[in-house]
Amino acid sequence: MFHREGFIIISISFVLTATFLILSDLLIKSPFIKYLIQFLSVFFLVLILQFFRNPKRSVSPDDKLILSPVDGKVVIIDSVFEKEYFKDNRKQVSIFMSPINVHVTRFPISGRIVYSKYHPGKYLFAWLPKSSEENERTSIVINTPEYGEIMYRQIAGALARRIVNYAKKGDDVNQGDDAGFIKFGSRVDIFLPLDSTICVKIDESAIGAKTIISSIK
């Protein structure tokens, strides 16, 4: 299964790959060059397909759990001052996605969207702390029954040039549902109340809609 945001790119990639395969077979006499071009064409197509893959993950919504919104590696766990919306101290958990990770964003918890804002910006490497405030990004706040208001922030990386966000103010959303997509390298920050219990560690691999970021016992 592939994400809908990749349908156009996947279709173009199939056409280009088929074109290169046919033309190289008809026009290139050298077997080495012909097979090299064909191999690179198929390899490029495989990269595109794996980037836009969208594995289905069933979730039984639990208001006492914050699930990872993305696949990737936990790179930051810290107490920070969140100045865009909360304007107070929050616990921040950041997950970095490499180009080989699934790039679907999923709602980390059920609730109502009370804030959703896009910010144009730079394209610094997503693992840099300042990318959270300087890169292209979208900030989404969900009002939840147990945690109150929590924020997750989609951050574009050095290769990304488009963030897709499906969350609209006033929407009621379900934990684990498709919330958007970030193309080609990125990061997601989660901002939680200071008394939240964090269930992951630095360098831990997270799986979207599966890994528990925080739990209320």
Catalytic residue numbers read 186
Label each residue of the chain as H, E or C. Answer: CECHHHHHHHHHHHHHHHHHHHHHHHHCCCHHHHHHHHHHHHHHHHHHHHHCECCCCCCCCCCCEEECCCCEEEEEEEEEEECCCCCEEEEEEEEEECCCCCCEEECCCCEEEEEEEEECCECCCCCCCCHHHHECEEEEEEEECCCEEEEEEEEECCCCCCEEECCCCCCEECCCCEEEEECCCEEEEEEECCCCCECCCCCCEECCCCCEEEECC
